[in-house]
Amino acid sequence: MKIKITLLVLFFATISQAQVSNQGQPQSWSLNNIENPEAVVMPQFDLKALRAEDKINDAKQDKPYRYGHEFLVDHTLQNSGKWTTLPNGDRIWRMRYLSKGAQTLNFLFTDFYMPKGATLYLYNANHTDLLGAYDDKQNNAQRVLGTWLVAGEDITIEYFEPAEQAGQGKLEIFKVVHGYRSLSATEIDPDSGLNASGSCMYDVECYIEGINSLKEISKKSVALIIVGNSNWCTGSLINNTSNDGTPYFLTADHCYSDPSQWAFMFNWINPNPSCATGIPSTNNAPNYHLTVSGAELKARREESDFTLVEITTGLPDDWGLVWSGWDRSTTIPQFSYGIHHPAGDIMKVSLDYDSPTMVNDNGDFGIVWDIANWEIGGLQPGSSGSPMFDNNGRIRGQAWYIYGASVCNGLNAGGQSSGYGRFNVSWDAGSTPSARLKEWLDPQNTGALTTDTYPLQPVYTVDAKTIFTELGNNCNSIVAPAIRIINNGTQNLTSAQINYTLNGVTEVLSWMGNLATNESDVVELPQSAGAAGENTIAVTITSPNGTSDQNESDNVISAIVTVVEGYPAQQITLTLLTDNYGEEVSWELTNENGEVLYSVEEGAYANATTYTEVFDIVDGGCYNFSIYDSFGDGICCAEGNGGYVLSTADNQAIQLGGNYGTGEQTSLRIESVLSIGQAALNGEAKVYPNPSNGLFTVKVPSGYSPNYTVYNLLGQEVTKGLLTNNLDTVNLSNAAAGVYLLKVIDAATGSETSFKLIKQ
C-alpha cells in the first residue's frame, strides 16, 4: 500500500497584506519629547500546559503548528490608546502592548479601514523591527487585517491620520498573539523559512541544463501563499485565452480556505544559488517584498485537487510577473519540472527527466500525473499547489501529494514519488463553472488546447547572464569565487568582460569562448586574501560580443563572503546553562568534512543546570558547532535564562547565545599563530579572578587604552567603558549571576580580544 501525504505546511498565523512596502517610518520617530503610551499588560497564561499539548500535537502532525497564545481584546481608536495632535492638525494614535516573555507579537484587526493618506505601523520597543506601512491599499470588503509577526514582547501600533481625514479611519484590535516559540516557517519574516527544506534541494536560480531558459520564465509566475491563516502552500499565476492579464492564480484544493484572507509573496529567490551543496541559501531582501493579499474564489474541485482564485489587489507592472501558459491535452510530456516553496523555503526547482505517468484510478488519490522518481530535488509540505511544468514550460497540473522514499538522501535526491492533479481533468470534468477551469481560462470559448505566457517574453539576440557557483572556503582567509556565464541570447556568445570587485577593489578580466543559446561556462575568478568577518564581492558582466547587452537585468551579482576568525587553541570549552526544559537541547561539533567529533543527544540534560564540555582539537582545523532545541524556543528566555558560551582554554570567548529558536551554527578556525591584528591584545591581555563575585581585574599591555563592552548571553549590552591603566576593573557587582562576554577593542590599532566572564 502506498502511503500518500498531502503537502500542506501548518504554522498558525493570521496574515493579510497588500503591497506592504516596509518603507518609511512612523511619524512619532521624528518627534521630540513625545510621551510613550502606557502599555496594556497581557495576563499570564499556563505556558507549561501549552507546551505539553504542543509536544503531543507535533508528534501526531495532524494539527497546525502552534507558536502562540491568543488573547481576545476589544480595543478601538475610541476606547483605547493615546492620541497626539500635531500643530498642523494631523493626528497620531498609538497603542502599546506588553506580554512578558513573548518572542513575538502579532495582531488581528476585525474592523480595518484606512482613509487616503493614513498609515499604520507596528514596531518593537528598541525600533529594531518595523512592520508597515499599511495604508488604503489594504482596505478590503471584509474590513479584516492580520499582521505579520513583530519581534519582541513590547510592541506599539501607530496610526497616522491626516487632518483632512479626521475621524474617517477605523481600527478594532480583536486578537493579540503571544509568540512563545519559533520555527523556521513561522518566525518574523518570510525569509525565516530560509533553509527549512531538504539539503538536496536546488534553488531556482541554479543552472540546470535542458530547462534553464524555461524556468527563467516560469519562476516569475510562482508565489508562496499563506492560506487558512495557518498554512504554507505554493501556486502560480495562470494565463487565459484572452491574454488580458486577469490575475487568476492556480493552487491545490486541499489548500483551500477563505481566499479573502490569503497572502501571496512573489519573487522570493536566492540570487546566489545553492545547488544541493549543503551551503545555506541567502535571500534577495529587500526585493522579495512583493506581497499582496486577498483573492476571490472562481472554481475548485476535490477530484483533481485544484483551486482557482482571482487576486483582488493590483499586481504592479514593475514587478515583472508572468502568467504561465497551460496545456489541457492528454499528451504525455517528455519531462516535467516543478517550481515551489518547500517548507515555506526560498523558491526551489525540481526535475524529473522521465515522462510522468497518467493515472486514472479515481481513488482517493487519483486522476493525476505521477512522478515516479525525481532526479533533482523533490517536493515537501509547503509545495502543495505548485505548478508542474512540461517540456514547453506550460502548466500541466498542481502538486497534490508525495509518497515512497524520502525527498533527500544527503545531498542527493532520495527517489521520492509525487502526484499532481491533472490540468486536463480540472478543465471540464466539473459539472458547473464553479467546479472547472474552462469558463475562466477560455472565456471566449475558443477551444484552444494550449496558451503561452502573458505577457510574451522578449527574445534577445545578445544576453549574457552570470551567477555564482562558488564563493570559496570560509574556513581560510582566501576568497576564491567562481561564476557561471550563461548565454540567454540567440546569438552565440564568444566574448565578454568581467568586472570583479572585492571589498571595493576591482579587477577587469576578459573571457572568450563559444556558447550556443542556453549553454554556459564556469569561470574561476582570482583568489584574494579576505579579512576575518564579512567580505563583499560583486561581479558585473559587460560587453558581450563586444557590444551592449540587450538585457542588463541579469548582468550584476553580489554576495557576502564570511571569513571565519581564527583562534589559537588546543582545546575549546563549551559552558552551557539549560533552561527549564533541558531535555530539549542537543548539539554537535563537526570537522570540515562533516564528521561528528563530539555530540550530546536530546534528553541528556537536566533543567536549569550548568554543563561544561571540553573539546580537544588540532591546529589548522576548521570546525562547526551546532546547537538545537527540539521545541523551537532556544534556551532563553521565556522558560529560564539559559545560555551557552564557546571559549578557548584561556577564556577567550568565541561565541555565545541562547535565544536561537530551533538552532544555530558557529564556524571557527583553529590556528597555531596569532594574527597580527590579534597578537597585541591576545598575547598579554588577562582577566582575573575569573570566576568572580563581580569585580574583574583586566590587565592590558603598556601603551594601550582600549574600550570594553560586556554583554549577557542575549547579546545585550550590560556595561561598557575605557581601560585607562595597565590594570583596571570591570564591575559586574550589580549584575545577576551567570556568564557574560567581555570584548576589549583598541581603536588606535584595531587589536581586539574577548573573554568569558563568570559572575558567581
Residues assigned a catalytic role: 254, 305, 384
Answer for the pair 276, 201: CB distance below 8 angstroms, yes or no: yes
Backbone angles phi, psi at 731, to 5 degrees: -105, 115
Answer for the pair 126, 158: CB distance below 8 angstroms, yes or no: no
> Which of 27, 171, 132 lies closest to 86 in space, CA to CA?
27
What does the alpha-carbon distance between residue 98 and residue 592 come to, in Å, rounded to a whole number?
44
> Which of 582, 671, 592 lies closest to 627 in space, CA to CA?
582
Report in angstroms the alpha-carbon separations of 677 from 136, 145, 475. 54, 52, 18
Containing 680, the helix (H) or strand (E) segment is helix 676-684
What does the alpha-carbon distance between residue 349 and residue 222 come to, in Å, rounded to a whole number?
11
Q: Counting Cβ atoms within 10 Å, is residue 63 exposed (0-12), middle (13-18) or buried (19+)?
A: middle
Residues 475, 478, 481, CA angle at the centre, nearest 5°? 100
DSSP per-residue string spanning 431-454: SSGGG-SHHHH-TT----SB---B
**In the Cβ-directed half-sphere of 220, how many Cα atoms lie within 13 Å?**
21
Answer for the pair 257, 233: CB distance below 8 angstroms, yes or no: no
What does the alpha-carbon distance between residue 696 and residue 719 come to, in Å, rounded to a whole number?
13
Answer for the pair 153, 638: CB distance below 8 angstroms, yes or no: no
> Which of 397, 369, 367 lies closest to 385 in space, CA to CA?
397
Answer for the pair 609, 582: CB distance below 8 angstroms, yes or no: yes
Backbone angles phi, psi at 174, to 5 degrees: -110, -35
